[in-house]
Structure 1
Amino acid sequence: MSIYKDKTTLLTGSTRGVGRQIADHILASGGNVIGFARGTSTFEHEQYRQFNVDLSDATAVTAIFNEVRRHTNQIDIVINNAGVLTSQYAMIMPPAAAQSMVNVNLLAPFLISREAAKFMRKSKWGRIINIGSMAASLEPIGDSVYAATKAGLSTLANVMAKEFGSFGVTCNTLGISAIDSDMLAQLPRDKIEEIIKHLPVARFAEIDDILNIIDFFASERSSYVTAQTVFLGGVN
């Protein structure tokens, strides 16, 4: 039986890049997907429904759940995938860019996880999966705020795991390494390749690497796995 069959996954950043591929995977597995995104829906699938929301706006993120409740009373899995990156030396980092990373990469996942957990508490089952980054561990120059927000995601999951564990909800983080995406294209390719070549598994991530861990965290069999961060490629 599919991990996602008869389950509803709330996925942020669902319209492009890694998020779109995660959504395709879940839909192909028979699951339902609620997408949170800013852009126009790129899906034509009867089991996909998109809610347009600016994740940098905390008020809008909280308010959108009123619309979600009119559509469904079920959220089983949350995948906090959406993220923004401005790579810049701390001395010249624009405050607005730093604030945007904090809002989208950390505050939005907090709010979404909190609101979704209210659905999960009623069903006594749930999975919250945060998409982190190798930047949280490697702490590359220019990524002070981005790395801090991604490190914060792990802490967020670890604390929520304690708060939500009593009603069957696990909270974990997947720290992905570099994968070809719009976000990665913002960074100098030579610098990324230099980082990759020093990893124990010296290659770029592929989408199946990511889906494998998401499936593991989402599985019924992973009910005893919580407050964990798995980094791809041997990052530690």
Structure 2
Amino acid sequence: MSIYFDKTAIVTGCTRGVGRDIALHILDQGGAVVGLARGDPSIDHSKYTHFAVDLADTSAITDAFAQIRKHTSKIDIVVNNAAVLTSQYSMIMPPAAAQAMVNVNLLAPFLVSREAAKFMRKTKWGRIINIGSMAASLEPIGDSVYAATKAGLSTLANVMAKEFGSFNVTCNTVGITAIDSSMLAQLPRDKIEEIISGLPIPRFAKIDDILNVIDFFSMERSSYITAQTIFIGGVN
């Protein structure tokens, strides 16, 4: 039986890129997906429900969960995928861009996880999975705020793991490496390739690399795996 059979997952930032691939993977495996994203839905599936939400807006997230409660009585899995990136030297980083990264990359996962955990507490089962980044470990120049928010995701998961463990909810993080996406396209290709060449496995990530770890964290057999960050590609 599929890992996701009879499971309902929230996936943020699922209109394109990695988030869309994660949502489609869960749907293909028999799960239901509630998508939270700023844009219009890009998935047409009987088990997919979309809520247009600006994840930088805390009140919009709260309002979305009020609607989600009318739609479903259980949330089993959360994948906090949505993120924004402005890569810029610290001395010239626009404050608004820095604030946006904090709001979307860190505060939104906190709120989504908190609200979803209220469902999980009732069912005594849950998996919260954050999509982190190699930037948290490699700390590249120009990514001070982005790297800090992604490092913060791991800390967020680790603390929530202690708070939610008593009702059988695990909280973990996948630290992904560079994968072809609209976010990656914002960065100089030569700089990314230089970073990738220094990895123990010097190649770009594939979506299956990411899905593999998400599947592992989501499994019933992973109920004793919590407060962990797995960096793919050999980042440490």
* TM value normalised by structure 1: 0.99
Distance 1:121 1:166 in 2: 9
Q: Which residue of 2 aligns with 1:227?
A: 227
Q: Which residue of 2 aligns with 1:208?
A: 208
Distance 2:33 2:173 in 1: 20
Q: Which residue of 1 aligns with 2:99?
A: 99
Q: Which residue of 2 aligns with 1:56?
A: 56
Q: Which residue of 2 aligns with 1:137?
A: 137
Please state if 1:162 is matched with 2:174.
Answer: no
Over residues 133-187 of structure 1, what are the superposed CA-to-partner deviations in whole Å (9 max), with x where a residue is unaligned? 0000000000000000000000000000000000000000000000000000000
Please state if 1:197 is matched with 2:197.
Answer: yes
Q: Which residue of 1 aligns with 2:67?
A: 67
How far the C-alpha of 1:198 sits from its partner, in A, is 0.4
Q: Residue type of the partner of 2:225?
A: V
Distance 1:151 1:224 in 2: 22
The 5-angstrom pairing of residues 15-34 of structure 1 reads 15-34=15-34
Extract unaligned runs of 5+ from structure 2.
none
Over residues 87-119 of structure 1, what are the superposed CA-to-partner deviations in whole Å (9 max), with x where a residue is unaligned? 000000000000000000000000000000000
Distance 1:132 1:235 in 2: 12
Distance 1:76 1:176 in 2: 23
Q: 1:130 aligns to what SS in structure 2? A: strand
Q: Residue type of the partner of 1:125?
A: W
How far the C-alpha of 1:203 sits from its partner, in A, is 0.4
Extract unaligned runs of 5+ from structure 1.
none
Q: Which residue of 2 aligns with 1:184?
A: 184
Distance 1:191 1:70 in 2: 46
Distance 1:195 1:157 in 2: 26
How far the C-alpha of 1:43 sits from its partner, in A, is 1.4
Number of residue pairs matched by the alignment: 236
Q: 2:170 aligns to what SS in structure 1? A: strand
Over residues 46-70 of structure 1, what are the superposed CA-to-partner deviations in whole Å (9 max), with x where a residue is unaligned? 0000011000001111121000001
Over residues 4-29 of structure 1, what are the superposed CA-to-partner deviations in whole Å (9 max), with x where a residue is unaligned? 00000000001100011111111100
Distance 1:15 1:93 in 2: 27
Distance 2:150 2:157 in 1: 11
Distance 1:89 1:13 in 2: 26
Please state if 1:39 is matched with 2:45.
Answer: no
Q: 1:158 aligns to what SS in structure 2? A: helix
Over residues 172-223 of structure 1, what are the superposed CA-to-partner deviations in whole Å (9 max), with x where a residue is unaligned? 0000000000000000000000000000000000000000000000000000
Distance 2:132 2:56 in 1: 17
* TM value normalised by structure 2: 0.99
Distance 1:7 1:78 in 2: 11
Q: 1:205 aligns to what SS in structure 2? A: coil
Q: 2:23 aligns to what SS in structure 1? A: helix
Distance 1:44 1:126 in 2: 26
Compute the RMSD of aligned alpha carbons.
0.4
Q: Which residue of 1 aligns with 2:109?
A: 109
Q: Which residue of 2 aligns with 1:121?
A: 121
Q: Which residue of 1 aligns with 2:83?
A: 83
Identity %: 77
Q: Residue type of the partner of 2:21?
A: Q
Q: Residue type of the partner of 1:54?
A: D
Q: 2:74 aligns to what SS in structure 1? A: coil
Q: Residue type of the partner of 2:235?
A: V
